[in-house]
Chain A
Amino acid sequence: MTASGTHVPASTQKPVGAQAQAEDRRSLGRTDTVSENRLAASLRDAAVAAFLAGVLGFFFIGLRTDLAPGGLDIRMRWAAWITAIIVVFVGRLALNVFVFKAAHPVGEDIGAKVAGMGRAVPGLGKWLTRALFLFALVLPFFFTTFFPGRDRQFIDLAILIMTYIMLGWGLNIVVGLAGLLDLGYVAFYAVGAYSFALLAQHFEIGFWAALPLAGLLAAFWGMILGFPVLRLRGDYLAIVTLAFGEIIRVVLLNWYSFTGGPNGISGIPKPTFFGLEMSRGDDGFAAFFGIEYDPIQRFMYLYYIIFALALLTNLVTLRLRKLPIGRAWEALREDEIACRSLGINTRNTKLTAFAIGAMFGGFAGSFFATRQGFISPESFSFIESAMILAIVVLGGLGSQLGIVIASIVMIGGIEMLRNLGFLTEIFGPGFDPVQYRMLIFGLAMVLIMVWKPRGLVTTREPTAALREKKRIGADMVAQGEGH
């Protein structure tokens, strides 16, 4: 991560992301006819990067402070420091030689091919959507059939990814469609989770009865929080929503008598299937249908619940987009002042987006509570908001398919790191890939964004057409800069 060169041409205004830089590089490459120059430049650049890595890493990799009897102790880790410098040098050199300063950068063709594929195969997105949908439909059976030993783990991961897809779709209404930057979305997730947990604890209300209530409560909170702040401009809105998210978390943490404080709430009931529990007993689901009981059934059921909830979110969003309210959201994102000149009540329009987004967050929250059986404020920290927002932006604002892909890549990717046990054989038994998972997540966020600033899926489909629907390129779609 310290590998940053100084020789990449730094044109001031127009480059947007890596693509623009790649063009600059190519044009430079042509003027550089002698390849030796290129190698020398690469070496120099790599040396600079290595020097920088040395400087940045000195106090962190080269030194380590530790608790010791009688105060802090400091020790040198020269080997690790020098290794880091060498790794950066070699890595940067390789990148320079094969990608940045190469005459024909590796990956250029691949990138062009991938980019061209969307255009070459009309309806690629549509087919991908259908394929993903079909796979999601049969997913539990796929895993029980083909990975019987690890089906539980995979289905659990699928549930997790699906939860983030749903949260992403919910936040997409607020950020992607209405262009309101919300950094406190997790607050509504928490409201949903705590609503269900408390309702279940105090009134013994089951999951299905609590679900709409939790959604409504979250929407209600969305309105209450949104009402005073929605006239703020983009970044102010972002920081105030972040503040609200933190306030809700702090209150949950400190209001012992009501929320249980840091101990959280446990014993949250599992969802039933029309009154049937997913248990081994005689009145359980398996017994009722006369099939053999298997603990996996509970996971499969949970999976289908979140799948249905996510689908509901998606269908409602797609419908809303084609309704006047959805068009008003997108218009608001494009130009708020023009909206007001056309008689659109922008405050109510924003509030609706906020409330509907919050409602889906609340649904997802109660699902989270029932899946875990236990919730505590720890699960609703800012990092969750950041992850959901990252999924929405990386997927491509406003794109439903993009969010699916981003969730699979980001959430699935970091969870996969848990399974890289074989790496301990290379790096020794002390190596624990899990602790690198957030580091890699953060790096991936930065790299994907630099590579594709507009996200993975970048076209917008019009909501109405006279003759034919032409998809609209991302460069024209606003991201709510206007307010």
Chain B
Amino acid sequence: MPLDVNGTTYETDEEGYLANLSDWAPDVATALAGSDGAELEDGHWEVINFLREYYEEYQIAPAVRVLTKAIGKRLGKDKGNSKYLYELFPYGPAKQACKYAGLPKPTGCV
């Protein structure tokens, strides 16, 4: 299902993940969230930006366990726990946040 953002059409897979990593931009993230009925706030952006940096460095999207630990280290213990991350991303922090970050689904994500 193609995603339309300000007149530009982006290719996505059957689950709504961006087909091309390089298509990502903040307004694309906003549109991806919008198609799930979600609105992105500061807390979401912190995680999305973290994921993009992680991917750039390691070429993978981290597993939830790794994401949770790393967020805790980067943004503090109050954010490095699954309760907080699931509140932000109720469909699963790794799955949903990766989608808005324009990354492929995390390796080993079921």
Q: Do A and B come from one complex?
A: no
**Contact surface of B with A, Cβ cutoff 8 Å:** none
